[in-house]
Amino acid sequence: MKRTVPLLITLVVGAALIIADFVPHRPFGTLGDDFSLYFDIIAVFAFILGGGNLVRVHIMKLSKKRKDWPFSIVTLAGFFIMLAAGLLKIGNPDDIKGDVAALGSLFSDLYISIFTPLQASMFALLAFFVGSASYRAFRAKNKEATILLVSAFLILLGRTPLGLWLTEGIPDSISFLELPNLANWILDVPNLAGQRAIMIGIALGVISMSLRVILGVERTYLGQDND
């Protein structure tokens, strides 16, 4: 029974939302908006569960002095400080009734002064990893890698003044060979076709997985894939 009830709820809700998407009349027409409110309520409890699990995991790590346990202290300190600043709205100009992210509040100051610089630093470091991955991917080891390398080189040149300067003398009759135009063509035609193919594949995968969940074939979200 403890597995049958969730499966029935999933089946009914999933089928109702599918019908609501194709039947815009009442009572189905408003089901999407109504269910989104319930989803928001469930998400609140999910955040509480996630926060409790975060605290539990790091407290266990601290108690057993596992590897890199000092980082758990930083994580827990940051979690509780931000939680208190948001819940109690410390320093908020409008007191407890104000917006949690109002300028001048402790929550806003911590976010702007600590989280934003850390986020910028992380993305700055990612640039080096992207550069390293691009170097490995663009080595012309086979035909596909060669095509990728040439396309990337043309796009990079077409996006710089150097590319425009190198090909500005091309006659108007073959102006499509100018590097900026060629770069735009690569992005608008082959690249866009690949993006659409990927999106179609993702959509088919989402449909397939959704049907598996609604019909009860996929049960891993229940915890264990057995009865």
What is the pLDDT tens value at each position of the chain, 227 positions in all? 677 888 888 888 888 888 888 887 777 777 877 888 888 888 889 889 999 999 999 999 989 888 888 899 999 999 999 999 888 888 888 888 888 888 888 888 999 999 899 999 998 888 788 777 777 766 667 787 788 778 888 888 888 887 778 777 777 777 777 888 888 899 899 999 999 999 999 999 999 998 898 888 888 777 754 54
Using CA atoms, how far apart are residues 83 and 131, in angstroms rounded to an integer?
Answer: 37
Using CA atoms, how far apart are residues 218 and 227, in angstroms rounded to an integer?
Answer: 12
Mean pLDDT of all residues belonging to the chain = 84
Using CA atoms, how far apart are residues 180 and 164, in angstroms rounded to an integer?
Answer: 6
Whole-number pLDDT of residue 56: 93
Give every CB contact of residue 89 below 8 A, 6+ residues apart in sequence: 95, 96, 98, 100, 105, 107
Using CA atoms, how far apart are residues 191 and 122, in angstroms rounded to an integer?
Answer: 28
Which of 136, 158, 154 lies closest to 145, judged by CA? 136
Helical segments of 23-98, H only: 31-63, 69-87
